[in-house]
Amino acid sequence: MRKSRERTPHDDRGSATVAAIVLMLSLTGGALLWLSWNVDRSINAASDADAIAFQAARAGAQAVDPASLRTATPVLNRDLALELAVDAATSLFAANETSGRVVSVEVGPDRVTVVVEITEAGRTVTGQGTARLAVGVRGEGT
């Protein structure tokens, strides 16, 4: 005959399995929190990089060559546009307390393109923005 083992109030059968399951779920939960936090920071950094690049390009596109204003096609002052774009990007990096640099500034006759890099949490993201010189006012109300 087989003896049946009686359970006592202090029986610990299965407690190792429960401990292992709790440990696995805790580690998985922690890993998911860490991953979501890092992904969120990378997305924010990419958004910041695009915004800073675009604002720097807009600042550069304000550098209209005064001599070209009375012609049919105004153009940008290349040197001033470059200076304004870099200054704007540098100011925005400081204002956002962001570690970044201007990679390139391309100035055409009627447009400025700025590329910046931001380093956040050991990851580097790139943002690009382009602004075009608009002549006159078009659209509703003209």
Domain borders along the chain are: 46-132
The third-level CATH classification (topology) of the domain covering 46-132 is Pantoate--beta-alanine Ligase; Chain: A,domain 2 (3.30.1300)
pLDDT at position 142: 45
User: pLDDT category, 120, cuts 50, 70, 90?
Assistant: confident
Q: How far apart are CA 124 and CA 48, in angstroms?
A: 12
13-24 per-position pLDDT tens digit: 778 888 888 889
Amino acid occupying residue 74: P
